[in-house]
């Protein structure tokens, strides 16, 4: 199944790309996408997106899908969905 991802802000700088498409197995969960990102971009971000031991998404990472926030690793991804990864902005 094809999923498009977009990294925004400092995450795009770490990844070296702003957008890309990934092929994932049928009926993927958010955890599958996070594992794939860890494989493709090892050590390129200021933190790990996914803690496989604890089965947790990194605190402070905002993940947005098609008209919804993706909050847990068990969220189902939709065919052709575009997933945005960003960090909250520090304000002042």
| Residue-wise pLDDT tens digits, 22-61 | 999 999 999 999 999 999 998 888 788 888 888 899 888 9
Give Cα separations from 48 to 25, 42, 51, 66, 78 (angstroms). 22, 8, 7, 23, 24
pLDDT tens digits, one per residue of 8-30: 988 999 899 999 999 999 999 99
CA angle 7, 15, 25 (to 5 degrees): 75
Task: Give the end-to-end CA distance of the chain in Å, rounded to a whole number.
Answer: 41
CATH class as words, domain 2-86: alpha beta
Residue 3 has pLDDT above 70, yes or no: yes
pTM over 0.85: yes
In the chain, where are the structural domains located? 2-86
Q: Cβ(73)–Cβ(85) under 8 Å?
A: no
- Residue 57 has a CB neighbour count (10 Å cut-off) of 21
Residue 92: is its pLDDT beyond 70? Answer: no
């Amino acid at each position: 199944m094809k999923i498009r991802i977009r990294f925004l802000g400092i995450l795009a700088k770490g990844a070296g790309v702003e957008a890309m498409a990934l092929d994932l197995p049928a009926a993927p969960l958010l955890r599958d996408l996070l594992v794939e990102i860890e494989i493709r971009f090892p050590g390129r971000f200021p933190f790990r997106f996914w803690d496989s031991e604890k089965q947790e998404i990194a605190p402070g990472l905002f993940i947005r899908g098609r008209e919804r926030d993706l909050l847990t690793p068990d969220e189902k991804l939709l065919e052709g969905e575009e997933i945005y990864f960003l960090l909250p902005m520090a304000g002042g």
